[in-house]
Chains A and B, each alone.
Chain A
């Protein structure tokens, strides 16, 4: 269930609440928190804002978001050595990253991508997906049909 692709409907269902949370945290007008807005480049977020937003999302959606592991999640099943070398994302890592952040247009990925710059790619939609993944992970498993 947790590997099922996240639908646009699921995203749009929580987007208004997430936009409100991001707007309150930064702070900025909620109208500026577009679904495809980069939190750092478009909305001026700093690292403390990411922490703030994550804690607000946890409280609002009653989920646990693994702080400090957002980048690790992006790495998926690749080892650290496969994903990056000396702080620069490898070709395999970039493919994995683009799949994980499929809401981010290709042109937003710099070349090369530095691991430290990955949060720069995060958009409002990225946070919608993080919440949905955590909601799914926390949901009780559906019993098999009788």
Chain B
């Protein structure tokens, strides 16, 4: 079965689209999954914003991941539960969409995105416009059956250097093939920016685990700031991921995250971790 609209699609139903300025919907996390990482909740918010943008653009242009000013990691998304998705479109034109949004679960916040910007590019470069138009109609009517997402394949990185509790460098090989590529995107497979974010978060977590704990509680990843994806990452690309501790106070850590391909920086962000006490 084709992976289109299954292997990396995180909107089951669009319940409201108001004047192109606010879109609401939901996604049922398949019960059989062992986990649903925060990056996928962020991806779901980005996808529902993208549906609103594509509708507005007559399915001729679509946004892709570009910038996220702030992503707050607020809770754990649980398999078998419903993610409620809301995106507020702040501006939309031929070149870019800017939006903010949230994913909640039973009203409890899971993730919050602010100051996000996605460059708009021609749909035909990535996907079939008619297929997207038909899918949008389905999502906006009765919705689609839940459970299409099969889970993520392992995305391991291999530590190759760094200094304990200060920095870590790791080699990361983007899979040459994976179930999500036929869905992201059918005409041009691209490694999702949200999965690059997840790999960077896992690397950061490994570094944070080496830092002596705060006086009370333990370090917890709280927010990703100024995340920027500079180029499309094709299947099979070899990347170097790096996390560096930039600032350490009694109850907060600031890390710089970079993803490189050779000399080129393909993505980056800052990460805030705080003690459990400050949450």
Contacts and interface: CB of A to CB of B under 8 A. Distances in A.
B25 interface: no
A24 to B, nearest CB: 7
B93 interface: yes
Contact of A67 (B66, B96, B226, B230): B96
Nearest to A44: B265
Instruction: Specify the main secondary structure of chain A where it touches its partner.
Output: helix
Interface residues of A, number: 13
B125 interface: no
B44 interface: no
Contacts of B226: 24-25, 27
Interface string A17-39: 00000001101000000000000
Interface in B99-124: 115, 117, 119
Contact of B119 (A24, A27, A48): A48
Nearest to A64: B91
A51 B96 CA distance: 8
B228 A55 contact: no
A48 B94 CA distance: 15
A49 B95 CA distance: 13
B125 to A, nearest CB: 15
A108 interface: no
A8 interface: no
B230 A46 contact: yes
A54 B76 CA distance: 34
A51 B115 contact: no
B67 A52 contact: yes
Interface of B: 66-67, 93-96, 98, 115, 117, 119, 226, 228-231, 268
Given A27-B268, A55-B98, 6 more contacts: A46-B230, A48-B228, A51-B66, A51-B119, A52-B66, A59-B115
18 contacts: A24-B226, A25-B226, A27-B226, A47-B119, A48-B229, A48-B230, A51-B67, A51-B95, A51-B119, A52-B67, A52-B117, A52-B228, A55-B67, A55-B96, A55-B98, A67-B93, A67-B96, A68-B94
